[in-house]
Structure 1
Amino acid sequence: MLHWDAETLWQDLEPQAPGLSIEVLAETDSTNTRLIERGRQGLDAPCLLVAERQRAGRGRLGRPWWSQPGQALTFSLGLKLAPADWSGLSLAVGLALAEALGDRIGLKWPNDLWLRGDDRKLGGILIEVTPLAEPGLRPGERWVVIGAGLNVAPLPETPQDPDTFRTGYACLQEFEPALTAPQVLHRVAGPLLRAVLAFESEGLSTLHARYAARDVLAGRSVQAGALTGVACGLSADGSLQVRDALGALHALHSGEVSVRPC
């Protein structure tokens, strides 16, 4: 296995999430699946679960996400949250990851990380929420699992993920050749946890300007299902605004459609 130095990372994160555990697996089907099952079983202490290899990782709209040791960083963060409004959590997560990884990283609504100006996919986010059935919960509290996959090294000769053929493949070693998956985890885990906890209390209210600075769709012609128009940034609730050829503004909500530049 790679050297993850989980103890040092735990010392940094546990004060922000008391009871947090950090676990690294050589292989699993899906880190999201493992943590969703824990939540359903009532094992809902905060957990950061990392897998060097995922056999059945999942992306948005059910797309598969494969990973090999060292080629990608795949992990999930599970914890209990009770935000007043869940809308836009994936945007807050994506923003935290992008800012932690540097200026080259842009955001494609609703949950992809792309190289800015290059339209190649660097990573993706999958958030899953399940109810809790234990006493003493805060109003609206749920078990949320935040999964992320980030490409670290160049793609093998025969990519397994069909999404790479649609959007192109990007990886962090293109501009930081010595970067490793454990180093990426140490770079992003703290900002991610802080962003999630801040979202619980503040929602998206303070993030719109920062998101706009990394928005790779803004001002571009996009297609979402049968709708074609110009992307006009986020609305207050995190939906994507698209203006059609007649000037009408449409609000697209995460999970409804796949949006791609024309």
Structure 2
Amino acid sequence: MVELQPSPLSWPVESLRGRLAALRPGLRVEVVAECDSSNTRLLERARAGDLAPCLLVAERQTAGRGRLGRRWWSDGGSVGSLCFSLGLTLEPRRWEGLSLAVGVALAEALHPSLRLKWPNDLWLCADGVDRKLGGVLIETQSLGAGAARQVVVGVGINIRTPPAEAAAARGPIAAIEPVGLEQVDPALDAAAVLELVALPLLQALDRFEREGFDAGLQRRYAARDALLGRELQTLAADGSLLHRGRGAGIDDSGALLLDAGTSAPPLRLLSAEVTVRPLA
């Protein structure tokens, strides 16, 4: 059993609740010292009938996860990372591009130097080195008849640079040097970062529900696209090579376009299919 120390942070629960509830009446803001996964907790609540919108922050997650089941580093005590989930009901006309819309909102709220690595990572790209700052895991579940679904947006952002063993634990296919937000703004702590991103995230979800992954969002994503014009390789779940080509941006559904250097149209890749990494 890990003994948790009292939190060194003062979380802005009341101020955030007031601002967020103005957009989503009844939205709750909760902070817990530890849980297995904030995404799992909100999905379980929804299955039990609790569909109230909620922002759940966990200072430490024992089973935090990312895309394709990868582990996400979560440090309690000193709160070296910000891990939270936002659960709410959405009924957009189209679901494509949701993770990209979330990434745009987070990157724009945090720092001008942040880039987006398709489909769901926040990268700091500096001095020719790509380093992962954060990631997004979106999970949805049906609410029965109708198009509305319960959506849980999980966000993990490194405040401090994780130790080497944390990166190694995520496995070789996900291997990329991690970085903390301290590298671009050492004054920020997890509570301050939550204040920066929570309202823009909720606003982005509301806009996505009304307008989808529209042309404006596509342009904003393109301005931060970390893969555009770069030589890439796509990998299967076991790490085997699938494709090589040059990043050619995204289409209006949020799919990644990969130019294989032939006369054929670019390959269209969906986020559930592959892992994409720049060639060294």
TM range (shorter): over 0.9
Structure 2 unmatched ranges of 5 or more = 1-6, 236-241
For 1:218 and 1:184, locate their aligned partners in 2 and report how far apart those are by CA, in whole Å. Answer: 27
1:105 touches 1:114 (CA, 8 Å); kept in 2? yes
Structure 1 stretches of at least 4 aligned residues deviating more than 6 Å after TM superposition: none
* Cα deviations by residue, 1:211-259 (Å, 9 ceiling, x for unpaired): 0110000000101131100110010100000010324310001111000
- Which residue of 80, 95, 99 maps to 2:104? 95
1:42 touches 1:132 (CA, 8 Å); kept in 2? no
Deviation at 1:162, TM superposition (A): 3.0
Deviation at 1:63, TM superposition (A): 0.3
1:121 touches 1:164 (CA, 8 Å); kept in 2? no
1:107 touches 1:114 (CA, 8 Å); kept in 2? yes
Q: 2:135 matched to which residue of 1?
A: 124
For 1:114 and 1:57, locate their aligned partners in 2 and report how far apart those are by CA, in whole Å. Answer: 19
Q: In the TM superposition, what are the counterparts of 1:204-215 in structure 2 within 5 Å? A: 204-205=213-214, 206-215=216-225
CA separation of 1:160 and 1:234: change in aligned 2, threshold 3 A: closer
For 1:155 and 1:164, locate their aligned partners in 2 and report how far apart those are by CA, in whole Å. Answer: 15
What is the CA RMSD across the aligned residues, in angstroms?
A: 1.4
Deviation at 1:154, TM superposition (A): 2.5
1:56 aligns with 2:63: yes
Q: In the TM superposition, what are the counterparts of 1:2-81 in structure 2 within 5 Å? A: 2-69=9-76, 70-81=79-90
Taking every aligned residue pair, what percent have the same amino acid on both sides? 51
Deviation at 1:160, TM superposition (A): 5.7
Q: In the TM superposition, what are the counterparts of 1:166-245 in structure 2 within 5 Å? A: 166-205=175-214, 206-225=216-235, 226-245=242-261
Q: 2:273 matched to which residue of 1?
A: 256
For 1:222 and 1:47, locate their aligned partners in 2 and report how far apart those are by CA, in whole Å. Answer: 38
Q: Secondary structure at the match of 1:158?
A: helix
* Cα deviations by residue, 1:99-126 (Å, 9 ceiling, x for unpaired): 0001111000000000034310000000
2:167 touches 2:178 (CA, 8 Å); kept in 1? no
Structure 1 unmatched ranges of 5 or more = none
Q: Secondary structure at the match of 1:28?
A: coil
One-letter amino acid of the structure 1 residue matched with residue 226 of structure 2: V
One-letter amino acid of the structure 2 residue matched with residue 30 of structure 1: S
TM-score by length of 1: 0.95
For 1:149 and 1:13, locate their aligned partners in 2 and report how far apart those are by CA, in whole Å. Answer: 20
For 2:40 and 2:159, locate their aligned partners in 1 and report how far apart those are by CA, in whole Å. Answer: 22
TM-score by length of 2: 0.89
* Cα deviations by residue, 1:17-38 (Å, 9 ceiling, x for unpaired): 1110000000000000000111
For 1:16 and 1:104, locate their aligned partners in 2 and report how far apart those are by CA, in whole Å. Answer: 29
2:100 touches 2:120 (CA, 8 Å); kept in 1? yes
* Cα deviations by residue, 1:72-124 (Å, 9 ceiling, x for unpaired): 00000000000111111000000000000011110000000000343100000
Deviation at 1:153, TM superposition (A): 1.1
